[in-house]
Amino acid sequence: MEELSLLQKISIWVLPVVFAITVHEVAHGWVAKLLGDRTAEAQGRLTLNPLNHIDPVGTLLVPGLMLLFSGFVFGWAKPVPVNWGRLHNPKRDTGLVAVAGPAANLMMIVFWILLSRLAIAMNLALLSRPLLFMAAAGIFINSMLMLLNLLPLPPLDGGRVMSSLLPVRLSIKFDKLEPYGFIILIILMVTNALSMILGGPLNLVLGLSMELAGIPFGVLRLLLSSSS
């Protein structure tokens, strides 16, 4: 397969990334509404319109720089506001609201797998190739978001799930890590520890998903290669 230009990569990555981070955040707000907190709905955040969720740094600057220098895209949206005290059972429901984001990413992996299979079945020259590349990008970004957010580190979703499962005293102590969560995450990234932690699970999820989608790994390698 020939290498992709920067413009081609942008056209491939933009929809899967925006879709992934938008649905992830909406899922938090939707489950929070079901469990008693309508804050996200009141602020107009229960919408799939990406303009309502754009974070200038996480949705625009960081993905753009990563695409330019690393060949693939990663980003985040503005967190959906949740008033944890309004939930029916704050300790239990906090975990349910938190896990909704990664669960949404898992459902989107399934969506991209099905779309890839549809593209292969259609076998339309003008559509199947772009859809396969877009599906590979969707599988990758949603796998990354799902696994990263499942790390048991506050304020990531996995940290909130862990807090909801711990006994109250331990939960209070664990929550005190939240102000330092992103600092810890950056340290893990710089020391390459994050790659060691997520590498195995990510390869497993990607391997299974790409096989089910019928997408050659060469497609993903092209998407992840540095742009010339």
Catalytic residues: 25
Whether the predicted pLDDT of 13 surpasses 60: yes
pLDDT in tens, 196-223: 999 999 999 999 999 999 998 888 888 8
pLDDT in tens, 163-172: 999 999 999 9
Confidence (pTM): 0.89
pLDDT at site 228: 47
H/E/C letters for each residue in the chain?
Answer: CCCCCHHHHHHHHHHHHHHHHHHHHHHHHHHHHHCCCCHHHHCCCCCCCHHHCCCHHHHHHHHHHHHHHCCCCCCCCCCCCCCHHHCCCHHHHHHHHHHHHHHHHHHHHHHHHHHHHHHHHHCCHHHHHHHHHHHHHHHHHHHHHHHHHCCCCCCCHHHHHHHHHCCHHHHHHHHCCHHHHHHHHHHHHHCCHHHHHHHHHHHHHHHHHHHHHCCCHHHHHHHHCCCC
